[in-house]
Structure 1
Amino acid sequence: MTDPTPAATVAALLTVRYFAGARAAAGRSEETVPAGRSLDDVTADLADRHGDRLAAVLRVASFLVDGIACHDRRTPLPAGATIDVLPPFAGG
């Protein structure tokens, strides 16, 4: 049996993982979005998709791309990358 999802399609996506308040605001723990866009583009799309509650979280969140803090929000993200959305945590 062949995999119904071609590897090229999977590689052309980014995985977004939500933690804590971001997970609650998005209503899910993760989702995929098209690759080849910047973090600013991706977060704008996610805010449009999920509404004001997630938009508010995204404005104050930190982001990891493949486990490394992302400080350049305008550079296109590599296909297959994982973005972790980390809202501010209390007591940390």
Structure 2
Amino acid sequence: MVTVRFYAGARAAAGVNEEAAEATSLASLLDHLAAEHHGRLAGVLPACSFLVDGIAWHDHEAPLPPGATVDVLPPFAGG
């Protein structure tokens, strides 16, 4: 089980700030989130960056640590 925290546009698409999910990798988590949220996140997730326990996570197939916190970060605008 991992904790997923959504930020900015990802939070708006998910409709929640945080949720728990069963996932073994980032790829399986993203598939789960897209299905769980009826595709609302599908357009947002490809542009997002992900932190796993505060560390940038680029390998979508690498195993997620049990109990990890995954932050879903869409691109931020501003300056």
Could you say what secondary structure the match of 1:32 adopts? strand
Give how far 1:32 is off.
Answer: 0.4
Letter in 2 for 1:33: A
Question: 1:24 — aligned with what?
Answer: 12
TM-score by length of 2: 0.94
Question: 1:67 — aligned with what?
Answer: 54
Which ranges in structure 1 are unaligned for 5 or more consecutive residues?
1-12
Choose 1 or 2 for highest CA Rg. Answer: 1
Equivalent residues in 2 for 1:34-45, closer than 5 Å: 34-35=22-23, 37-45=24-32
Letter in 2 for 1:64: L
Q: Please identify which structure carries the higher helix content.
A: 1
Size of the aligned set, in residue pairs, is 79
Could you say what secondary structure the match of 1:21 adopts? helix
Letter in 1 for 2:77: A
Question: 2:44 — aligned with what?
Answer: 57
Give how far 1:82 is off.
Answer: 0.2
Which ranges in structure 2 are unaligned for 5 or more consecutive residues?
none
TM-score by length of 1: 0.81
Give how far 1:67 is off.
Answer: 0.3
Distance between the aligned counterparts of 2:22 and 2:31, measured in 1?
Answer: 13
Q: Please point out which of 33, 44, 48 is paired with 1:46.
A: 33
